[in-house]
């Protein structure tokens, strides 16, 4: 048994403070020798059952009663247990060394598992799982935060309320109203729309707005070619109808690009993947490659669009569409959290929601698990009448930024020839306000609302 393994086992039996800090993070497969591993398992079982330090006699009795422990293995475990002695090293040194031990063992095990997968000897995982396995191992560490104490952490909570969070604002007023200033990092934001309504138009407009603000944008497309996405953004940025771009001379086009370059500080990278061939693992690899080769770090990612991605965890033939789409949404939100940035994507409406002027969450195509995962979800609605007016109706479906009943529906303008969205006069919003919206919160009329209203006078 390695010296550090001896130290860990000894302190797990004699140092309660150490045990409670490290036992959630140490795993049995970190111990290479069967006898050491068996002693650790016995310690863990005792702690779970009795919530206290195990004695040597309790461990030996547990091993005696374990039918899976042979006589030879028992004697080796007995030798380890009888020889346990704690050290006089500083407590923090011991914690740090244990964390380092866990990191090294987790990475070693991940590499060995990866070799088995590459050699075809692992029936559970495919090669697509390798990035997740290795990234999980590299992320092993001790997180000693076990929750927010409502009373003890009140000062930290007050500071949180008054901290300015970094956001990426829209250039559309009503979107800024419903998000209280823009998109937050670590969020998944989803536009729901039927075919041809404007999912890609919305994301291209947003991408153009972001680079104008000096943000670095990564636009991933699985539907259209990279050049087609760039064409739409050219039309938006150059103020030229998309059908007229091809009529620009080379000099005129170059001049406009130089003008944009002089005014725009952000960078835009557009990457195309074949439809239904890429997942969050591919996107993470692309992010890392861009950092290495182009010194490019994205501030926001657009993925066009979610339904034609694949899952890094689930193979298409082994699950229904609900499970697959929900899995993709969870993986993309996990990527947003890992990279500390917002992700914007889109999804299709069902056939029933295609011509519906009042789209609901239930009109989400293929999986209701997607709305459950998204932080912001809104529908883009177009009818023949709205199309003639050059308007799109936006309806909030889910909103973790603010109260979704405020400005639940609103209108924005659309110039499809130039791939642009714009704010409308306030008069365009007059006839779409939800009835009863300003009658006060329903909560105030509930039992809990009455209790809070009575008690708040004492604050």
Residue 459: per-residue pLDDT: 44
Residue with tokens 């105030």: 444
The tokens describing 446, both together, are 């509930």
E-state strands within 217-285: 217-221, 268-272
What homologous superfamily does CATH list for 3-138? DNAb Helicase; Chain A (1.10.860.10)
Residue 131: per-residue pLDDT: 83
Question: What 3-state DSSP class applies to 412?
Answer: strand
Q: Where are the domains of the chain?
A: 3-138, 167-434
Residue 21: per-residue pLDDT: 86
How high is the mean pLDDT in each 10-residue block of the chain (459 residues)? 81 89 89 92 92 91 91 93 87 90 92 91 82 82 74 87 86 94 95 88 95 95 93 93 92 93 92 92 92 93 91 71 86 93 89 59 65 91 89 92 91 93 86 47 47 43
pLDDT, tens digit, for every residue of 12-35?
Answer: 998 888 888 888 889 999 998 899
Question: What 3-state DSSP class applies to 219?
Answer: strand
What is the distance between the alpha carbons of residues 375 and 446, in angstroms, rounded to a whole number?
Answer: 27
Q: What backbone phi and psi angles, to 5 degrees, belong to 249?
A: -70, 165
Which residues lie across from 379 on neighbouring strands?
192, 395
Question: What 3-state DSSP class applies to 196?
Answer: coil
Architecture of domain 167-434: 3-Layer(aba) Sandwich (3.40)
The residues, any chain, with a CB within 8 Å of residue 288's CB and separated by 6 or more, are none
Instruction: Concatenate the DSSP letters of all residues of 58-69 into one string.
Output: HHHHHHHH-TTS
Residue 163: per-residue pLDDT: 79
- Fold equal for 3-138 and 167-434: no
- The alpha carbon dihedral of 222, 414, 329, 136 has a sign of positive
Residue 167: per-residue pLDDT: 92
Question: What 3-state DSSP class applies to 376?
Answer: strand
Residue 358: per-residue pLDDT: 65
Q: Is the pTM of this model over 0.85?
A: no
What is the distance between the alpha carbons of residues 68 and 66, in angstroms, rounded to a whole number?
Answer: 5
Q: Which helix (H) or strand (E) holds 11?
A: helix 3-14
CB 423 within 8 A of CB 174: yes
**Helices (H), ranges, 51-181:** 56-65, 71-82, 91-118, 130-138, 154-161, 173-178
């Amino acid at each position: 048994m390695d010296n550090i393994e001896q130290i860990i086992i000894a302190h797990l039996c004699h140092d309660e403070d150490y045990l409670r800090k490290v036992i959630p993070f140490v795993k049995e497969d970190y111990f290479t020798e069967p006898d050491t591993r068996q002693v650790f398992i016995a310690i863990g079982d005792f702690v779970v059952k009795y919530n206290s330090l195990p004695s040597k006699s309790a461990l030996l009795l547990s091993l005696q009663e374990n039918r899976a422990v042979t006589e030879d293995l028992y004697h080796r475990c007995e030798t380890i247990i009888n020889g346990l002695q704690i050290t006089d090293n500083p407590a923090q040194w011991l914690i740090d060394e244990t964390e380092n031990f866990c990191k090294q063992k987790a990475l070693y095990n991940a590499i060995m598992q990866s070799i088995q997968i590459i050699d075809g000897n692992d029936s559970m995982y495919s090669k697509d799982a390798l990035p997740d396995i290795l990234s999980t191992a590299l992320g092993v560490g001790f997180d000693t935060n076990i929750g927010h104490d409502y009373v003890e952490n009140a000062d930290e909570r007050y500071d949180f309320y008054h901290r300015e969070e970094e956001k990426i604002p829209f250039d559309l007023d009503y979107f800024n109203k419903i998000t209280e200033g823009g998109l937050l990092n670590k969020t998944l934001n989803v536009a729901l729309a039927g075919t041809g309504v404007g999912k890609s138009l919305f994301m291209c407009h947003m991408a153009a707005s972001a680079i104008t603000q000096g943000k670095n944008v990564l636009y991933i497309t699985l539907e259209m070619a990279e050049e087609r996405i760039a064409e739409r953004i050219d039309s938006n940025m150059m103020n030229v109808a998309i059908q007229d771009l091809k009529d620009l001379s080379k000099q005129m086009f170059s001049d406009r690009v130089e003008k944009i370059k002089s005014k725009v500080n952000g960078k835009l990278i557009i990457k195309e993947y074949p439809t239904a061939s890429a997942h969050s693992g591919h996107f993470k690899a692309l992010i890392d490659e861009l950092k290495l080769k182009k010194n490019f770090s994205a501030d926001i990612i657009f993925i066009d669009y979610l339904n034609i991605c694949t899952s890094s965890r689930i193979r298409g033939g082994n699950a229904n569409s609900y499970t697959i789409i929900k899995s993709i949404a969870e993986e993309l939100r996990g990527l947003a959290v890992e990279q500390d940035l917002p992700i914007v994507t889109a999804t299709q409406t069902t056939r029933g929601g295609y011509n519906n002027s009042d789209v609901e969450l239930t009109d989400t195509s293929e999986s209701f698990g997607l709305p459950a995962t998204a932080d912001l979800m809104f529908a883009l609605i177009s009818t023949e009448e709205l199309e003639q007016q050059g308007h799109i109706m936006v309806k909030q479906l889910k909103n973790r930024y603010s109260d979704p009943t405020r400005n639940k529906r609103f209108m924005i303008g659309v110039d499809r020839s130039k791939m642009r969205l714009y704010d409308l006069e306030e008069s365009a919003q007059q006839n779409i306000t939800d009835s009863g919206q300003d009658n006060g919160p329903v909560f105030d009329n509930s039992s809990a609302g009455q209790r809070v209203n009575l008690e708040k006078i004492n604050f």
